[in-house]
Amino acid sequence: MNVDRDRLREDLEANAEFGEIETDEGRGRTVLTGTEANREAREYLVARLEDAGLDVRIDAVGNVAGRWTPESADPETAPVAAGSHLDSVPEGGIFDGPLGVYSALEAVRTMQDAGVEPERPVEVVSFTEEEGQRFASGLLGSSVAVGERSVERALALEADDGTTLESALDAMGFRGEGRIDASEWDSWLELHVEQSERLTDAGVPVGVVTAITGITHCEATVRGEADHAGATPMGDRTDALAAASEFVLDVERAANEVVTSASDTAVGTVGSLDVRPNATNVVPGEVEAGVDVRDVDRDAMEELVRRARRSLARLERERGVETEFRRPFDLAPTPMSDRVRAAAHDAGEAAGIETLDLHSGAAHDTMHVAGVTDAGLLFAPSREGISHNPKEWTDWDDCATATRVLAGALADLAGA
Ligand SMILES: [Zn+2]
């Protein structure tokens, strides 16, 4: 099988023109759900899917799927699906999302050109609003495809300007019918840019993700007593910020220790501090700290959360502050399917392309899909690890190499 690098590049460059922004360096685009740029990107995709002879279906929340059912396949068997998303963050790059959609299409065309005869249909999918910039907080289309959010609730989602997803899809002509149901797929694969530098560092062109990180967000409140910074002697203070500073260092220390003792992929960050009253001449009375904990190992995540709580208990004892701890957001790590990972490694080996096991520190639609069917995620190298930025770049050769592995894995999974 030979991937047509220039055909893939043409599609990605055509897609890059929709929502293109002026930039001094690199190539950027802004494609938010329901905008003119989004309509153009969707229409171009549909045309390209149809050019390749795929049957295109748009569901009620604007998810797009093109199905290839070759003579060799039983149309009644569960298809193998692959894809990603076409929306972007504001002033994002041209690969995050589109690479996954157009590599899936190129994989199908590659199989067609090579006369591959799969037993199952192969589906190319583009999910609505993965980046969560307008209607939801992220992974919108896939949340409906896996049944986590109903079509009705999704359509009622409102943007800041009061536009509903339903009216935005109507305006673009992309509110279809029914629901693309990911649980009906035999398996799923997404190719995405790595967004870090592990592949480049290792000199390996394709990553096979072992698990997508779990994420938990915690909020810690530290309450002391606001007082005059000049008139309050050092011995009479309950300084909330001084105590919160120890909390920040405790979280960092705990993460470093968990990395050496339990899981080297664990990370813990106090990313925000809200200080009240936040005045130079006032002893801080209250601090709100935002904690982000991630890992592919659930136990390591729990250990970090426990250590954060323990730090607060110590500060209550030693510094006389009052504390509160909340955990408003928690998402468990998502392991990728062994079967799909094996198909990816085998495809790399058969094509003489080296592959590397690594984890994903960012969320992707695949996270949802993995809840309802066997799912896998491939990474292509990101130059300097940069993404969500016009400087995001993956060399065209690397795009083609990763697509070759994708095509091989899809052919394998589809029983070719
Ligand atoms: Zn993405």
What digits encode the pLDDT tens for the residues 74-85? Answer: 999 999 999 999
Question: Tell me, what amino acid is at 272?
Answer: S
Cα angle 177, 146, 413 (rounded to 5 degrees) comes to 100
Instruction: Give the SS3 label for residue 28.
Output: strand
Q: How far is the CA of 396 from the centre of ligand 1 (A)?
A: 18
Q: How far is the CA of 76 from the centre of ligand 1 (A)?
A: 31
Cα angle 118, 124, 129 (rounded to 5 degrees) comes to 160
- Mean pLDDT to the nearest integer, 185-214: 97
Give the whole-angstrom CA distance, residue 306 versus residue 403: 42
Q: How far is the CA of 364 from the centre of ligand 1 (A)?
A: 6
Q: Decide the pairing of beta strands 80-85 and 187-193.
A: parallel
Task: Return the axis-axis angle of helices 98-114 and 36-51, rounded to nearest 10°.
Answer: 10
Give the whole-angstrom CA distance, residue 62 versus residue 58: 6
Q: How far is the CA of 345 from the centre of ligand 1 (A)?
A: 22
Q: How far is the CA of 43 from the centre of ligand 1 (A)?
A: 20
Amino acid 265: pLDDT: 93
Task: Please name which of 394, 402, 31, 23 lies closest in space to residue 207, comparing C-alpha atoms.
Answer: 402
Give the whole-angstrom CA distance, residue 134 versus residue 32: 7
Q: Report pLDDT digits (tens) over 146-198.
A: 999 999 999 999 999 999 999 999 999 999 999 999 999 999 999 999 999 99
Q: Give the pLDDT band of residue 130 (cuts 50, 70, 90).
A: very high
Burial of 9 (0-12, 13-18, 19+ CB in 10 A): middle
Give the whole-angstrom CA distance, residue 402 versus residue 209: 13
Amino acid 247: pLDDT: 98
Q: How far is the CA of 192 from the centre of ligand 1 (A)?
A: 7
Amino acid 235: pLDDT: 95
Tell whether the model's pLDDT for residue 140 goes beyond 90. yes
Q: How far is the CA of 126 from the centre of ligand 1 (A)?
A: 11
Give me the helices (H) in 232-337, please: 240-261, 298-319
Q: How far is the CA of 223 from the centre of ligand 1 (A)?
A: 39
The pTM of this model reads: 0.87
Q: In this structure, what are the phi and psi dihedrals at residue 378, rounded to the nearest 5 degrees? A: -110, 150
Q: Report pLDDT digits (tens) over 294-353.
A: 999 999 999 999 999 999 999 999 999 999 999 998 989 999 999 999 999 999 999 999
Tokens of 218: 């915690």
Q: How far is the CA of 356 from the centre of ligand 1 (A)?
A: 20
Q: Give the pLDDT band of residue 110 (cuts 50, 70, 90).
A: very high
Q: Give me the sign of the Cα torsion angle 113, 116, 120, 124.
A: negative
Q: How far is the CA of 383 from the centre of ligand 1 (A)?
A: 16
Give the whole-angstrom CA distance, residue 148 versus residue 389: 30
Strand partners, 65: 57, 125
Q: How far is the CA of 407 from the centre of ligand 1 (A)?
A: 20
Tell whether the model's pLDDT for residue 137 goes beyond 90. no
Q: How far is the CA of 131 from the centre of ligand 1 (A)?
A: 7
Give the whole-angstrom CA distance, residue 277 versus residue 286: 7
Q: Decide the pairing of beta strands 28-29 and 55-58.
A: unpaired
Tell whether the model's pLDDT for residue 143 goes beyond 90. yes
Q: How far is the CA of 80 from the centre of ligand 1 (A)?
A: 20
Give the percent of the chain with pLDDT over 90: 97
Q: Report pLDDT digits (tens) over 241-285.
A: 999 999 999 999 999 999 999 999 999 999 999 999 999 999 999
Q: How far is the CA of 247 from the centre of ligand 1 (A)?
A: 33
Mean pLDDT, all residues of the chain: 97
Give the whole-angstrom CA distance, residue 283 versus residue 238: 8
Q: How far is the CA of 415 from the centre of ligand 1 (A)?
A: 28
